[in-house]
Chains A and B, each alone.
Chain A
Amino acid sequence: MRPLQQILASLCLLFVLCSSVYSATSEWRRLVLVATAEANMPPLTQAEIRKAYLGVAIRKGGYDIIPVRNVTDPLLYEVFLQKIIFMSARKYEHQLTNRVLKWGGRRPARYSSLLLLAKDLKQHPGTITYMWARTLEAVPGTKVVQELWAGPVN
């Protein structure tokens, strides 16, 4: 076998192995609602979270709830949309825009950086967001308000 064919064969084998490992791996994850550690944020109902993220003003435990979106991980975002918002990403954007235009309010900010997200959480005690429980360590100064969902993902 010639060297080029050997290389191609090796790459194909590697690809097949990686694919099988990926498809076989099923990881258990927890989706949690977080706020700054300084705030004493009470747990929110799923309906309240959904409303807040659809631009409806919510006040709970003396805090004006300010939702922000964590888009650092596409899977995280899709799980959040599926379990909490019950819409596709595009429909959610569409709905949010419609609502803000018709009824006023604010679109939840989007953060693709955990550092910036943490900074925003600290700035306002009523700020909430969602993330994988295991990524909490990467965002110091935050605490879990409640678990939103737990289940296998791959």
Chain B
Amino acid sequence: MGWTRKLGLFNRSLTGRLMLGLLLIHLVLIPLLFGGMYFIVRQGYETHFVNHVRSDAHQFSSMATYVLRTGGLEKLIEESLLTGRLILAEVRNQNKREIIITAGQDGLPPFKEDFFFGQHGDGIYYITLPLPSGEGVDPNLIVRLGYDEAATHEQIDLAYLRGIYVTLSYLLSVFALVFFLGRKLTEPLLRLRTVSRSIAAGHFNEQLNVDTKFTEVKNLAEDLDYMRKNLVEQALNLEYQALHDALTGLPNRALLHDRLERAILNSQRSNAPCAALLLMDLDGFKDINDTLGHQAGDLVLQQVASRLLEMVRESDTVARLGGDEFALVLPLTSTEPIQPIVEKMLRGLQQPYVVEGQPLVVGTSLGVALLPEHGRDGEDLLRKADVAMYVAKRSGGGYTVYEPGQDRHSLTHFTLAGELRQAIEGNQLTVYYQPKLDLKGDTRAAEALVRWQHPEKGLIPPDDFIATAEKTGLIESLTVAVLDEAISHCFKWCQTGQTMKIAVNLSPRNLQDPQLPETIANILSTHDMEPSFLQLELTESAIFSDPSRALRVLNRIDEMGVQISIDDFGTGYSSLAQLRDLPVSEIKIDRSFVMDMRTNKKHAAIVRTTIDLARNLGLTVVAEGVEDAKTLDILRRLGCDMAQGYYISPPIPAADFEVWLKGQQRYTANG
């Protein structure tokens, strides 16, 4: 770096600017100050000299008058000249232009009387005075004296030099002081700059401790530190938001992965179980959202979160992955079994949740994967816990610990969705029929139930793919496929004299489709089928999630002549007033009440009441889940219109159903 560049940088620095500013100020002040001082000092010396000369000359003239009378003028002059200051003394007669006596140095400049110091620039102050008149003294006598100005000039020059030395010393001291102070000022600023850069690079926790006595710099440091703290707070907030679920405050999927990775790192030294990953979701949570609203659903989720937190240890991690899905990472000791922990957790979660004053029982399905037994990779563990949870869900809730064999039974959501689309398009879906036995007459009816005949996995039950169809929007095409096949079969059976009603289930998503009545009409028209032979079964939650829209669609369907049935009646939260306004012709009592009505008095009372209610409302009532003759007999005695269940017939393929129909025909014919 050249000296010019260094000088330029110094000039742009605070110290450089301070020194330059000071230099400019002193360029104005020093001449003024120095000039003023010099003027005062010089004037002092000159005045002193002039005063001395005037008084001395006056005295000399007085003494000269005296010694003229008494004699000894030469001696007076001689002694006066010895002082060195007086260098000329002369007494002369002014009239006669005659010199009485003269003494002094040789070669003096011509006599020119001075009235100011250095007036003639000859280095001598000449002065003339008359000798005071007196007895025996010629009044024309005057005295001419010359005083040497050199000593005073020397004193003035000396003062001038001293002034220059003092000024230079002052300037040097000031510059040194400014340089020192400038460095003192810039040092904390440079420190601030370094720390600010460090903060900008993301080191938010670096404290801004600047040791300075300058208030402004201290204030700046405090302001910067305040800004840093705010940044830290904001960063922590953002980090918290990025890693936590807003509804429950639990860690989210990203943080769960982080905790899982830590657990995996800890497990790398040992093969003993050191952590368990629990994945759980709530059974029937969608129904709560659909029937009670999302606010109620959110309250349930919050309560689940707080219960989980109460049940786990500080070292455990509880996370919400989204929807009703939660995950837990539980560090374990090698000897600690997971089963008691999970069972305790499930017991806690099975307690009713109170939402808007109503107690709600929500089931839980929980899958467990162990680290490192089931994997040392976070994604792999999550997938395996998901498989285990799926298995638990299939088996009606509770928990399942992952086993390698479960993989082939599990289907990931995306795989299933893709294959289901192909199945609908490739006619892999089959409709099974479950008869509805008329307990009072000879009306033939059946419920159409879809089955998926997978080319590799075999028959897949509806519970495994209906939810996927609803989530992926495939439910509409699935419903159309089922309607088409069921109406086709019904038409065929009607053609052969087996007149009967066929019931098809509708999903809540179907009711959100305003084109549904037209779609149904088109299918009926295609098969030239009477609308009155078709029944559509809906759950309470499907209707009451959006009652006004459902009512509009159902009214149009009803106007077409298609009958509407409420499925799983008693499990939802429908109001009787709303039920009254719906164009419903049939209600189906949920199997959970019917199956144990012989042993459970409360369920028996519900069944009885529902039958009475339906009768009073003029609705047909169907009891589902009839699995033995005694139940069928009780239902008959209670006045139930129709029954459906494994005792009568399980869902069977169309061909088998035709056989069953023929048998039923014989049974009826034989009385």
| Contact among A26, A83, A91, A153 for B51, CB-based, below 8 A | A91
Segment among B13-21, B112-120, B259-267, B568-576 that sits at the interface with chain A: B112-120
Instruction: State how many angstroms separate the Cβ of A13 from the closest Cβ of chain B.
Output: 21
B55 contacts A87, CB within 8 Å?
yes
CB-nearest residue of chain B relative to A79? B115
B47 contacts A91, CB within 8 Å?
yes
A152 contacts B113, CB within 8 Å?
yes
Point out the residues of chain A lying under 8 angstroms from B47, CB to CB.
88-91
| Contact among A75, A82, A151 for B54, CB-based, below 8 A | A82
Point out the residues of chain A lying under 8 angstroms from B112, CB to CB.
26, 152, 154
B51 contacts A78, CB within 8 Å?
no
Whether a CB of chain A sits under 8 angstroms from the CB of B598 is no
Whether a CB of chain B sits under 8 angstroms from the CB of A15 is no
Give the complex CA separation of A22 and B128 in angstroms: 22
A88 contacts B48, CB within 8 Å?
yes
A87 contacts B113, CB within 8 Å?
no
Tell me which of A75, A88, A91 has the highest count of chain B C-beta atoms within 10 A of its own C-beta.
A88
Point out the residues of chain A lying under 8 angstroms from B58, CB to CB.
86
Instruction: State how many angstroms separate the Cβ of B40 from the closest Cβ of chain A.
Output: 11
Whether a CB of chain A sits under 8 angstroms from the CB of B64 is no
Whether a CB of chain A sits under 8 angstroms from the CB of B424 is no
Digit string of B51-84 for contact with A (CB within 8 Å is 1, else 0)? Answer: 1001101100000000000000000000000000
Point out the residues of chain A lying under 8 angstroms from B132, CB to CB.
46
Give the complex CA separation of A82 and B53 in angstroms: 9
Point out the residues of chain A lying under 8 angstroms from B115, CB to CB.
75, 78-79, 82, 153
A151 contacts B51, CB within 8 Å?
no
Instruction: State how many angstroms separate the Cβ of B134 from the closest Cβ of chain A.
Output: 12
Point out the residues of chain B lying under 8 angstroms from A153, CB to CB.
113, 115
Whether a CB of chain A sits under 8 angstroms from the CB of B50 is yes
Chain A interface residue bracket vs B: 20 to 34
B54 contacts A81, CB within 8 Å?
yes
CB-CB under 8 A for A90 and B51, given A79-B115, A154-B112: yes
Point out the residues of chain A lying under 8 angstroms from B113, CB to CB.
151-153
Point out the residues of chain B lying under 8 angstroms from A83, CB to CB.
129
| Contact among B48, B116, B128 for A151, CB-based, below 8 A | B128
CB-nearest residue of chain A relative to B115? A78
Point out the residues of chain B lying under 8 angstroms from A79, CB to CB.
115
Give the complex CA separation of A23 and B119 in angstroms: 10
Give the complex CA separation of A75 and B115 in angstroms: 7
A87 contacts B54, CB within 8 Å?
yes
A86 contacts B128, CB within 8 Å?
no
Whether a CB of chain A sits under 8 angstroms from the CB of B280 is no
Give the complex CA separation of A91 and B48 in angstroms: 8
Give the complex CA separation of A152 and B126 in angstroms: 12
Tell me which of B50, B58, B115, B127 has the highest count of chain A C-beta atoms within 10 A of its own C-beta.
B115
Give the complex CA separation of A78 and B55 in angstroms: 14
Digit string of B31-47 for contact with A (CB within 8 Å is 1, else 0)? Answer: 00000000000000001
Digit string of B129-144 for contact with A (CB within 8 Å is 1, else 0)? Answer: 1001000000000000
Give the complex CA separation of A83 and B143 in angstroms: 12
Give the complex CA separation of A78 and B54 in angstroms: 11
CB-nearest residue of chain A relative to B43? A90
Q: Which residues of A (68-90) have their CB < 8 Å from a CB of B? A: 75, 78-79, 81-83, 85-90
Q: Which residues of B (98-120) have their CB < 8 Å from a CB of A? A: 112-113, 115-116, 120
| Chain A residues near B (Cβ < 8 Å) | 23, 26, 46, 75, 78-79, 81-83, 85-91, 151-154
A sample of 11 inter-chain contacts (CB < 8 A) reads: A75-B115, A79-B115, A86-B57, A86-B58, A89-B47, A90-B51, A91-B55, A152-B112, A152-B113, A153-B113, A154-B112
Given contacts A78-B116, A90-B51, 7 further A-B pairs with CB under 8 A are: A23-B120, A78-B115, A81-B54, A83-B129, A85-B54, A88-B47, A91-B55
| Chain B residues near A (Cβ < 8 Å) | 47-48, 50-51, 54-55, 57-58, 112-113, 115-116, 120, 127-129, 132
Q: Sorted from nearest, which 9 A-B pairs have the closest CB atoms? A: A88-B51, A86-B58, A91-B51, A78-B115, A88-B50, A90-B47, A86-B54, A88-B47, A86-B55
